[in-house]
Amino acid sequence: MSNITLDGAKGFAAPLRATDLRIVTSGLALLLLGAIFLSEVVNGRQAWLFLVGGGLGLVLYHALFGFTSAFRVFFSDRRGAGLRAQMIMLALACALFFPALASGELFGREVSGFVAPVGISVVIGAFLFGLGMQLGGGCASGTLFTVGGGSTRMVITLFGFIAGSVLGAYHLPWWQEQPAFQPVSLVDSFGWLPALFANLAVFGMIYLGTIWLERRRHGRLLEGVDSQTQGCRRFLRGPWPLVWGALALAVLNFITLALAGRPWGVTSAFALWGSKALGAGGMDVASWGYWSSPARAASLEQTVFADITSVMNFGIIIGAFLAAGLAGKFAPVWKLPRRSVMAAIIGGLLLGYGARLAFGCNIGAYFSGIASGSLHGWVWIVAALAGNWLGTRLRPWFGLAVERTPQKSAC
């Protein structure tokens, strides 16, 4: 069993590895050249969003900020460090987002949040996404940063993610005809300050609840990973304390809001990439109901480099690639167990399909949705947690580990 989990549970420190200068040089070059290219081909704002994506990838990798593993170890072992970090992240994000969304502008730019309807498609989609998280081995952000970090298994999950997103886009018009409530913005309904206090109260209860449950099970809390590096060296090489990652993700999402006029999202790009590939193969994807809106139709016709979500996703992959080089951990494994590959394919399909039905993923619906004051974000996480619970129970069927804290013994 693993002694160090992606949610930051404390275990035995891994041996310190030398920085891989070839990977670091390549990563920095890709970020620089990509920014220059986007500045010339699209505009300077797109270049900055690409670099913000690079920052997100580095943060996700160095902080080992895994939503999937955080949910899994809480269900399996009541370790709550990952969930507590998420509550800190959400609290800061709401404090930053709510006043800006209430005013409708930020630094002179018009801004709006991700506020979506609440209905059957959201509940089913989020449940499927949660199930896919545990079988696929990652969420939307987790898939990207682990691919950048050299995980060959997650490349399989990513391809399944893209295929599922395309299928979900094709079916979405039917799902949108199913019963649903109109979008509800807590900021618009109650005002940004009452909405903020209400959200902070819920975050606080969840934070304290995880402490109570973890101490009840284990007698003490485990926070963070052991590290042989400290100070500036730890900042460059990792692993970071989870709180560093939580704060950095909230700030970078706020920077995204300022630059793009809307929060950070991930999965809409997967539907775009897959649909463009089918279109290049001769399929008339432009006739699908999903692509009928003017904004989506325009993105389908333009280059992917003009799509904000796509360039940020590219940045996340490269940023994680750079972080893996700094940590000396870029080492792809090419031989994968058959059952693990099967789980990656199934999980990826569920992730992609569920994200389209639920109007987003753990980033667009959960993180950015709650930061936007959307009721849909809270419904999403409840349904997704149910899917994660089931997925955690199913992981052993596919030969996948379910982490538990090693018990001390005299043996």
Splitting the chain (411 residues) into consecutive groups of 10 residues, what average pLDDT does each group show? 35 65 96 98 97 98 92 95 97 98 94 96 98 95 94 96 98 94 96 98 98 94 69 80 96 98 97 97 95 93 96 98 93 89 97 97 97 97 98 95 64 35
Cα distance between the two ends of the chain? 17
Question: Which residue bears the tokens 């300077």?
Answer: 44
**Cβ(113)–Cβ(372) under 8 Å?**
yes
Note the pLDDT of residue 333.
83
Say what the pLDDT of residue 6 is: 37
Q: What is the pLDDT of residue 66?
A: 86
d(CA 231, CA 240): 10
Q: What pLDDT score does 252 carry?
A: 98
Give the predicted TM-score (pTM) of the model: 0.93
Find where tokens 């809409």 sit: 268
What's the confidence (pLDDT) of residue 236?
Answer: 81
Of 410, 194, 347, 365, which is closest to residue 264 (Cα–Cα)?
365
- Specify the pLDDT at position 119: 95
Taking Cα atoms as reference points, which of 183, 90, 106 lies closest to residue 381? 90
